[in-house]
Amino acid sequence: MSVFILLNCKTYDEGTGANAVKLAEACRDVAESAGVDIAIAPQIPDIFRVASVVDVPVYSQHIDGAGPGSHTGKVYVKAVLEAGAVGSLINHSERRMTLADIETAAGALRANGMASVICTNNIATTAAAAALGPDFVAIEPPELIGSGIPVSKADPGVVTGSVDAVKKINPNVKVLCGAGISKGEDLKAALELGAEGVLLASGIVKAKDPKDALYDLVSLI
Amino acid sequence: MSVFILLNCKTYDEGTGANAVKLAEACRDVAESAGVDIAIAPQIPDIFRVASVVDVPVYSQHIDGAGPGSHTGKVYVKAVLEAGAVGSLINHSERRMTLADIETAAGALRANGMASVICTNNIATTAAAAALGPDFVAIEPPELIGSGIPVSKADPGVVTGSVDAVKKINPNVKVLCGAGISKGEDLKAALELGAEGVLLASGIVKAKDPKDALYDLVSLI
Amino acid sequence: MSVFILLNCKTYDEGTGANAVKLAEACRDVAESAGVDIAIAPQIPDIFRVASVVDVPVYSQHIDGAGPGSHTGKVYVKAVLEAGAVGSLINHSERRMTLADIETAAGALRANGMASVICTNNIATTAAAAALGPDFVAIEPPELIGSGIPVSKADPGVVTGSVDAVKKINPNVKVLCGAGISKGEDLKAALELGAEGVLLASGIVKAKDPKDALYDLVSLI
Amino acid sequence: MSVFILLNCKTYDEGTGANAVKLAEACRDVAESAGVDIAIAPQIPDIFRVASVVDVPVYSQHIDGAGPGSHTGKVYVKAVLEAGAVGSLINHSERRMTLADIETAAGALRANGMASVICTNNIATTAAAAALGPDFVAIEPPELIGSGIPVSKADPGVVTGSVDAVKKINPNVKVLCGAGISKGEDLKAALELGAEGVLLASGIVKAKDPKDALYDLVSLI
């Protein structure tokens, strides 16, 4: 089984502009060295810049379902695709969407050959997201996001429960887990609980040395 | 008085990615040739790409008030600044914001030395926006946006009324008008009504030859 | 099988205040006479008034997931319960909610012994909604709402597809269909497609004689 | 000068249903005894119930700008009017609205002869709100709401600054202040800073004896 790691830069200054490029280089180097898949989700204005200069899979942090047309300020799937993104987070806990918009956005990603990662907050919403047939669901209990307490330790049942619920509804959907993940043992625990990867942010982006932190993250797999 | 023209690419395919670069080149060429200020607001994923290769003022179509931090998918002012934007639209009719967020976003632009253009829908909201002290307010009656019927002809009173209301509240705020503007006579009429520029989109972006359309736009000033 | 009919008053003047009471009386009379379940969803300010004087099941048109506390202007489940509601629509196409909020609201209804009706727009979102375990999902293609063209005629596949998808995920969830339903033949067709009831609005609320229209609606079952 | 006190029940259990009626009776009794204006804003499902049985001015906690029509779950001004409300809060910090919707809602209240109270968060947004010509603006620094620390003590400058800004833009608009207000000295201080009343909630609603708390509130004026 391949492991998938997705690094979310959020709007951290440490992950903005030139800093996003440096983080992307760290992702690329560690991915090559450790033989795992590591993708980065910089801020939307940074997608082109990162994708142009670093050979790493780039995800958008959000897309709107909006198609071409009169949609000022909306994030159009073809714009992020042409900027170099290969996938997108949708419905992150910091950018919740309506159910109808999640479905439209997941469909727009699929229609453009891009990967979709629907973020969810508990077992029930993970099951619902799986019914939409995305590539990934990423279960992140909001109260643990940015807490430094890994979901795999604080609430292992939400991970195993999500995996079970997803497999019943659509076994092709892969489960990521997030919230509080930053160390090798967190990733290892997540995989043992049935997740196929992790979504993480501050633990790496705000680390003293992000590349070292990424090496630690992949050290036990 | 200098005239300010802001071209909004919306999410038109004709204004996405490489097409945004071509439109930006047209803006630059016509601005130089006619001696007017023409700026472009490409989609957010295109800001870096456009600003890197074309010497033209680039605006974001939207920013959120969110600062640095845990704000996945939000448009952070420093990210668009570092990507090359010199200003931003806020509160476009296709991306309305709360009053509190408009104020925060306008303040974030000001604090970063960037120009703010608050879009509004009638005289009352234009007055309210002026009280926030942005660089520009852009009055666009929603029912005329994309209609091809210029606001300067269909509803001149909303332009003169907006100019009067703004000048009473904060004479430093400049008034743009939008909605249905595409031709030289529309711009001329807007200026005669007291506007100091225009915000426009489909009339240029979707024109057979956008550069010709821009030349026509500036032909009577 | 029992048939369930839910009449949504929206914000029609014909369904506001004293008019909502009259509509509720019509629902009660036709339900008694025809032996079917007919419930009414008046506007939220009208719940108490309707429930106090008419012996008919009253639904809210919306609830927020918000619990007790500092949530000014939000629709708290216990307030609509104490006002007399026995259930609520959630996520109506005119009042979309985030996936997380839909799940919270459905859970709040369940915890208070109230019926939940999650509105959806296509087969995929219906399947997702079913995964949340509500009492009902109500599939309403937005383009047909208020059109006068019954979904059972215009797009029978979306009804049968929804029924199939729901039964696979959670056979306890009942499927209603809506959009364009107003006549006896529409209801009959809906039931033949596997729906267990209908959600309807303008066809009855704005009818010349709503009680006659309700009698026609139930005439073929 | 008359003093205006508006008690917001939020979604506190202590202010829901039958409890809202009791609070309204306390407001009425203290208003009569002290000769001040005290109004109550119960939850929207409680407006009819409170207004039917207690002779006290009833405000809605929120209205949407939506008119009559296909607006399921929206709060229609004529529904709260017919339910017995004489005014409404709009744009409370717990229910923020877009600038365009605030303007529409304030206009809908005015057109129906109802009082409008636009909530704001700082001097700039208070000035903007005043430009819309409501009856009242209520300045409430969000960080002080529910804190028990009265805005009149913690940040008197935001009150005087708001009063100054409002009077310059529209001297007919009255300024209320809120956040942390609960005692007689808080109200006295607010009036001395130029406010013409207060908006308050938990300090009264959650008091051991709300009527005693209201008597204390008005004891120094």
Interface test with A, best of B12, B40, B64, B72 (most A CBs within 10 A): B72
Taking CB atoms and an 8 Å limit, are B102 and D99 in contact across chains? Answer: yes
Q: Examine the pLDDT at B219 and tell me if it is beyond 60.
A: yes
DSSP tag of B67 = -
Nearest to B128 among D96, D107, D131 (CB): D131
Nearest to A44 among B44, B68, B145 (CB): B44
Token pair in block for residue C211:
């009680």
- Closest by Cα among D164, D158, D161, D111 to D134: D111
Burial class (CB in 10 A: 0-12, 13-18, 19+), C46: buried
Q: What is the pLDDT of residue A20?
A: 98
Q: Mind listing the pLDDT tens digit for each residue in B45-61?
A: 999 999 999 999 999 99
The answer to whether C142 faces chain D, any CB pair under 8 Å, is: no
**Low-confidence residues in chain C, pLDDT < 50:** none
Interface test with D, best of C70, C75, C145 (most D CBs within 10 A): C70
More confident residue, B132 or D145: B132
Q: Examine the pLDDT at D1 and tell me if it is beyond 70.
A: no
- Annotated catalytic sites of B, by residue? 92, 140
**Count of Cβ atoms closer than 10 Å to residue D29 Cβ:** 16
Position B145 confidence tier, pLDDT thresholds 50, 70, 90: confident
- C20, C54, C117, C139, D55 from C108: Cα distances, Å: 26, 25, 13, 21, 33
> For B198-218, what is the mean pLDDT?
95
The residue ranges of every structural domain in chain C are: 4-217
> For B104-132, what is the mean pLDDT?
97
Q: What is the pLDDT of residue B1?
A: 56
> For A91-111, what is the mean pLDDT?
97
Round to whole Å and give the CA distance between A166 and A139: 11
Nearest to C73 among D12, D66, D95 (CB): D95
Position A221 confidence tier, pLDDT thresholds 50, 70, 90: confident
Interface predicted TM-score of the whole assembly (ipTM), two decimals: 0.95
The answer to whether D168 faces chain C, any CB pair under 8 Å, is: no
> For A84-93, what is the mean pLDDT?
98
Taking CB atoms and an 8 Å limit, are B128 and D100 in contact across chains? Answer: no
The answer to whether C23 faces chain D, any CB pair under 8 Å, is: no
Query: Is there a contact between B131 and D124 (Cβ–Cβ < 8 Å)?
Result: yes
The reply to whether C140 belongs to the active site is yes
Which H/E stretch holds residue C192?
Answer: helix C184-192
Residues 6+ apart with CB under 8 A from B27: B7, B38, B39, B40, B54, B56, B214
> For A42-55, what is the mean pLDDT?
98
Count how many Cα atoms sit within 13 Å of the Cα of residue D208 in the half-sphere of its side chain. 1
- Write down the CATH superfamily of domain A4-115+122-147+159-209: Aldolase class I (3.20.20.70)
Taking CB atoms and an 8 Å limit, are B99 and D97 in contact across chains? Answer: yes
The fold for domain C4-217 equals: TIM Barrel (3.20.20)
Which amino acid is it at A112?
N
Percent of chain C with pLDDT over 70: 100
Beta bridge partners of D174: D136
Q: Mind listing the pLDDT tens digit for each residue in A151-207?
A: 778 888 999 999 999 999 999 999 999 878 889 999 999 999 999 999 999 999 999
Taking CB atoms and an 8 Å limit, are B89 and A72 in contact across chains? Answer: yes
Q: What is the pLDDT of residue A142?
A: 79
**DSSP-assigned states of every residue in chain A:** ---EEEEE-TT-GGGSTHHHHHHHHHHHHHHHHHT-EEEEE--GGGHHHHHHH--S-BEES---S--SSS-TT---HHHHHHHT-SEEEES-TTS--BHHHHHHHHHHHHHTT-EEEEEESSHHHHHHHHTT--SEEEE--GGGTTSSS-HHHH-HHHHHHHHHHHHHH-TT-EEEEESS--SHHHHHHHHHTT-SEEEE-HHHHTSSSHHHHHHHHTTT-
**Count of Cβ atoms closer than 10 Å to residue B33 Cβ:** 12
Round to whole Å and give the CA distance between A187 and B197: 55
> For D191-198, what is the mean pLDDT?
94
The answer to whether D10 faces chain C, any CB pair under 8 Å, is: yes
**DSSP-assigned states of every residue in B135-147:** SEEEE--GGGTTS
Q: Examine the pLDDT at B75 and tell me if it is beyond 90.
A: yes
- Strands C136-139 and C59-60: what pairing? unpaired
Burial class (CB in 10 A: 0-12, 13-18, 19+), A2: exposed
Which H/E stretch holds residue B4?
Answer: strand B4-8
A9 marked as part of a ligand binding site: yes
The answer to whether A40 faces chain B, any CB pair under 8 Å, is: no
The answer to whether C147 faces chain D, any CB pair under 8 Å, is: no
Taking CB atoms and an 8 Å limit, are A69 and B43 in contact across chains? Answer: no
Q: Mind listing the pLDDT tens digit for each residue in C161-182?
A: 999 999 999 999 999 998 788 8
Residue for token digits 């993480």? A200
Token pair in block for residue B98:
């709360």
Q: What is the pLDDT of residue D213?
A: 96
Which H/E stretch holds residue D59?
Answer: strand D59-60
Q: Please list, residue by residue across B138-157, b when 16 or more beta carbons sit within 10 angstroms of its beta carbon and e when fewer do.
A: bbbbeebbbeebbbbeebbe
Q: Mind listing the pLDDT tens digit for each residue in D103-133?
A: 999 999 999 999 999 999 999 999 999 999 9
Taking CB atoms and an 8 Å limit, are B69 and A8 in contact across chains? Answer: no
- Closest by Cα among C128, C58, C50 to C91: C128
Query: Is there a contact between D103 and D132 (Cβ–Cβ < 8 Å)?
Result: yes
Q: Mind listing the pLDDT tens digit for each residue in D140-184?
A: 887 777 777 887 788 889 999 999 999 999 999 999 998 788 899
The one catalytic residue in C71, C140, C143, C192 is C140
The reply to whether D62 belongs to the active site is no
Which H/E stretch holds residue B118?
Answer: strand B115-120
